[in-house]
A = this chain, B = another copy of it.
């Protein structure tokens, strides 16, 4: 595989082209970060035409989601959080976030990602940039309050910390609390950030 990637000139799509594009994307995201990575640069690194990258991945964001093996698209998460009345935003944020973690596959991927974030500066930077542009900024733009980004980042920290204590450290009684109890308890705290 590595040898074929080094062949000069642009190659047409082969059976493993999608995998090679993902590999190039991972390298590019890791080297340059999310913002400085473009579809064009990934295509160049994978030695394929940019149109071929577009054939497999409809946007840079989609490429990021697939390259990082995220359990779901952060843009969908943002859309689901924003879809509903503002006075229930706190409860909705908790519900959507827990939904990602509660499936077996989602939980495995999120745990793996959390471990990578804590042990690798590169992964931490990538997640920071990807989450900021795909979730934190869209949600903060909806909130017409001072320090919107700070509030949204603190909400993100609260959710990540809850997941860490519930699914990784398995701290009781958070670990065995049912979902509706968590939404009832956390909803108002999250809402207090939203309302300011």
Contact = CB atoms under 8 A, between A and B. Distances in A.
Copies of this polypeptide in the complex: 2
Contact of A115 (B119, B147, B186): B119
Contacts of A19: none
A183 to B, nearest CB: 12
Interface stretch (A33-41, A81-89, A172-180): A172-180
Question: Interface of chain A, helix or strand or loop or mixed?
Answer: helix
A26 to B, nearest CB: 19
A123 to B, nearest CB: 9
A70 to B, nearest CB: 15
A124 interface: yes
Residue among A119, A151, A186 facing the most chain B CB atoms (10 A cut-off): A186
A161 interface: yes
